[in-house]
Amino acid sequence: MRRVLIIVFLIVALISAFGFEISAFGGMELGGKNRPYFGARIGTLSGGISLMLEGYYPVSSFEQLEEINIEEIQFIEIDPYIYVGIPLMGTLIYAGAAPIIILDIKNTQFAMYQDIFHVKAGVRFGTGIIFFAEGMVTMNTSFQIFDTYAVSVGVGIGF
Amino acid sequence: MRRMLVSILSFFFVLVFLFSCSEIPQAPKVIPLDPTGTTKPFVSDYTAANIYGSVDKQPTLVPIAVPDPVRVRISLPGVENLLSSELRVFEDNREQGFVLYKESSVKNKLDIAIILDVTGSMGYAIDGAKNSIISFANSLESSGLDAKIGVIPFDDYVNPPSDIEVEPGFLNLTSPASAQEYVSSLYAGYGGDWPENPYDAIMFAATALEWRPGAQRIMIVITDAPAHYKGDGTPFVHFIKNEMLPALVGYFVIHGAFVPGYYSESTTDFSDPGDVRELCQKTGGVIKYTDTSGNVDLTGLGIVEYITSSWIVTFESDSPASIHTIEIFYAKGSDKRYLKLQDVTY
């Protein structure tokens, strides 16, 4: 329990030192079932170390996007990313990693994958209104990469 | 504003750590690479008896950029401890690397719908069902499973059946004791012509019962009559088997207890439009026959054994969007069993 409190304290301290970003994004897997997905993220993405909480909801096809009833969504993926960002000529280049957590909304349960995690790299443009593009892979704890990738683009606001 | 967002994020992280262990089904993490240079065993050396299976399509959320694995549920009655080395799995003649785990180790909740024919010829079956539901549920619970039972009585109609007075018209998933009480209120009515309407009853169970998330979903059909089906000239039937299967295969396992007569034990072709056994076969369920009087002993059907000897085989498909043939070979000493699933979609 003490370890959890220390981690939470560190996270809160990190967050309070930076500005915030809220954005929405969409993307697609390259490989596997080629699922499209959409999501949203909130956090402190900026130069140096930062933290983002990201939510993902995959669908089976683009056609299914039109049929989604938000109230019927049961599972979403939540990834708390830790990023390292480098500001470069008005853009931000960033890379980070996150554990994979599944949230069961209807039953208010969380489940965390024990031995795989996401790794991501991206580039962000703009201030105020921001745009970004990024690529993501999944690795196991032996640092083997699965052969399914994902690419996302998004838009949001930074303040 | 910033303080509020910090609080929300902190709250989220605490929740994540507190609830990181749960019963949410997860995709397997690392599936071994497919073996190469192997050859398929000779099917003639194996028997197709005592092995059941279907593709499990119950929803799990597979994380982004994680290959979506195929999950095949297999049951090997009489096999208590199954090792990966005793199984070989082929998709379209190509051997697959797979991960194996016992289904009851990740799904200890069990929801069972009893689809019960309540027409005159089933008088003995209803008595048998009444007498055995509690012992059936007890044997499930002694296996460490959290069981709920629902009951759908039917004749030509469902909810309620037309020829008996029953209130309510069906019993939603509830405790075994409540199910026994409900079944005790049932009796055999007239039933009209020889065929009855189990197809509407099965689809009603699939859609109207409150199946629990993460539970194994099982139906047990008890009947002696062939099924009416859409297009047979009757106005009250809404389904044919081909329309039902996409909603059932992978989501439910349908076991059958059939009273001999129309349902002959020697029949192996269940494709007749009124033959319910095809639904059992294609959902990976057990097909059993009662005695000639229709006495039903749910504990004697082997369904408890089926459940406690069920495993999930997960592998990565080479082409998830295609239609496949899956073959599973089990061999332990002289015990050799073979399962073939054809025209499988994921």
Q: Is B129 exposed, middle or buried (0-12, 13-18, 19+ CB in 10 A)?
A: buried
Any A CB within 8 A of B20 CB: yes
Strand B216-223 versus strand B253-258 pairing type? parallel
Q: Looking at the domain assignment, is residue B89 inside a domain?
A: no
CB proximity under 8 Å: B 120-139 to A: none
Q: Looking at the domain assignment, is residue A111 inside a domain?
A: yes
CB proximity under 8 Å: A 11-30 to B: 11-12, 15-16, 20, 27, 29
pTM here is 0.70
Among A21-25, A131-135, B255-259, B270-274, whose mean pLDDT is lowest? B255-259
A69-121: per-residue pLDDT in tens? 877 787 899 999 999 999 988 899 999 999 998 888 877 777 788 778 999 99
B22 chain-A contacts, CB cut-off 8 A: 104, 109-111
What ipTM, to 2 d.p.? 0.70
Q: Looking at the domain assignment, is residue B219 inside a domain?
A: yes
CB-based contact A12 B10, cutoff 8 Å: yes
pLDDT value at residue B327: 96
Q: Looking at the domain assignment, is residue A2 inside a domain?
A: no
Give which of B270, B194, B260, B192 is closest to B227, Cα–Cα. B194
B320–chain A nearest CA distance, Å: 6
Any A CB within 8 A of B32 CB: no
Strand B52-55 versus strand B253-258 pairing type? unpaired
B95–chain A nearest CA distance, Å: 18
Percent of chain B whose pLDDT exceeds 90:
42
Confidence category of residue B107, pLDDT binned at 50, 70, 90: low
Q: Which helix (H) or strand (E) holds B87?
A: strand B87-91
Q: Looking at the domain assignment, is residue A36 inside a domain?
A: yes
pLDDT value at residue B271: 93
- The CATH number assigned to the domain holding B151 equals 3.40.50.410
Q: Please, what is the average pLDDT of chain A?
A: 84
By C-alpha distance, the chain B residue nearest A115 is B29
Question: Taking the CB of residue B251, how many other CB atoms lie within 10 A of it?
Answer: 16
Residue A144 has pLDDT above 70, yes or no: yes
Any A CB within 8 A of B64 CB: yes
Best mutation target, A79, A104, A120, to test chain B (most B CBs within 10 A):
A104
Among B9, B63, B320, whose Cβ lies nearest the Cβ of A77?
A: B63
Q: Looking at the domain assignment, is residue B323 inside a domain?
A: no
For the ranges B69-78, B118-127, B159-168, B323-332, the maximum mean pLDDT occurs at: B323-332
Q: Looking at the domain assignment, is residue A9 inside a domain?
A: no
B211 chain-A contacts, CB cut-off 8 A: none
pLDDT value at residue A93: 95
By C-alpha distance, the chain B residue nearest A29 is B65
Residue A17 has pLDDT above 90, yes or no: no
B286–chain A nearest CA distance, Å: 31
Mean pLDDT score, B301-323: 82
By C-alpha distance, the chain A residue nearest B1 is A20
Any A CB within 8 A of B22 CB: yes
User: Higher-confidence residue: A49 or B10?
Assistant: A49
Full DSSP string of B137-183: HHHHHHTT-EEEEEEEEESSSBSS-SSS--SSSSEEEE-HHHHHHHH
Q: Looking at the domain assignment, is residue A80 inside a domain?
A: yes
Question: Taking the CB of residue B233, how many other CB atoms lie within 10 A of it?
Answer: 6
Residue B21 has pLDDT above 50, yes or no: no
CA angle, A77 then B32 then A54, to 5°: 15
Q: How far, in Å, CA of A102 to CA of A117, rounded?
A: 12
User: Higher-confidence residue: A130 or B301?
Assistant: A130
B106 chain-A contacts, CB cut-off 8 A: none
> Domain tally for chain A?
1
Q: Looking at the domain assignment, is residue B137 inside a domain?
A: yes
- The CATH number assigned to the domain holding A65 equals 2.40.160.20
Q: Can you give the residue range of the structural domain that contains B122?
A: 106-308
CB-based contact B22 A109, cutoff 8 Å: yes
B227-285: per-residue pLDDT in tens? 999 999 999 999 999 999 999 998 999 999 898 888 998 888 999 999 999 999 999 89
Q: Looking at the domain assignment, is residue B82 inside a domain?
A: no
> Domain tally for chain B?
1
Q: Looking at the domain assignment, is residue A69 inside a domain?
A: yes
pLDDT value at residue A156: 94
Residue B10 has pLDDT above 80, yes or no: no
Q: CB of B47 within 8 A of CB of B334? A: no
Mean pLDDT score, B23-38: 70
Any A CB within 8 A of B4 CB: no
Q: How far, in Å, CA of A54 to CA of A41, rounded?
A: 4
Q: How far, in Å, CA of A72 to CA of A60, rounded?
A: 15
CB pairs under 8 A between A and B: 127
Query: What are the backbone dihedrals phi and psi of residue A20, each rounded to the nearest 5 degrees, phi first?
Result: -115, 155
Any A CB within 8 A of B177 CB: no
Q: b/e for A39-53, b at 16 or more Cβ within 10 A?
A: bbbbbbbbeeebbbb
CB-based contact B61 A8, cutoff 8 Å: no
Residue B59 has pLDDT above 70, yes or no: no
Q: Looking at the domain assignment, is residue A6 inside a domain?
A: no
Q: Can you give the residue range of the structural domain that contains A121?
A: 19-158
Q: Looking at the domain assignment, is residue A42 inside a domain?
A: yes
pLDDT value at residue A12: 57
